Amino acid sequence: MSQEFMIALGLLLVFEGFMPAVMPKAWKRMMWEVMKRPDTSVRIGGFLTMLAGLVWVLWVL
């Protein structure tokens, strides 16, 4: 794997772990709120996040 991909994966893990490490109660509260939402809303949110990431990557390239 390329060095850039490994750096991107490392940054992903840093960002994913930041909230639970720094504010665990707020993170658990947020996850509870997400669990109460319908699957369609969660799916749309995930899709929009993926789309934003793709646009970001294409903009950087």
Q: Where exactly are the structural domains of the chain?
A: 3-60
Q: Which two tokens stand for residue 32?
A: 């509870």
CB 19 within 8 A of CB 27: yes
In the prediction, which pLDDT does 55 show?
93
> Residue 59 carries which side chain, given as an amino acid letter?
W
Under 8 Å CB-to-CB from 19, ≥6 apart: which residues? Answer: 26, 27, 30
Q: What is the pLDDT along the chain (61 residues), one digit of tens a residue?
A: 788 889 999 999 999 999 999 999 999 999 999 999 999 999 999 999 999 999 988 898 8
CB 52 within 8 A of CB 44: no
In the prediction, which pLDDT does 32 show?
95
Cα separation, 27 vs 54, whole angstroms: 25
In the prediction, which pLDDT does 29 show?
96
CB 27 within 8 A of CB 20: yes
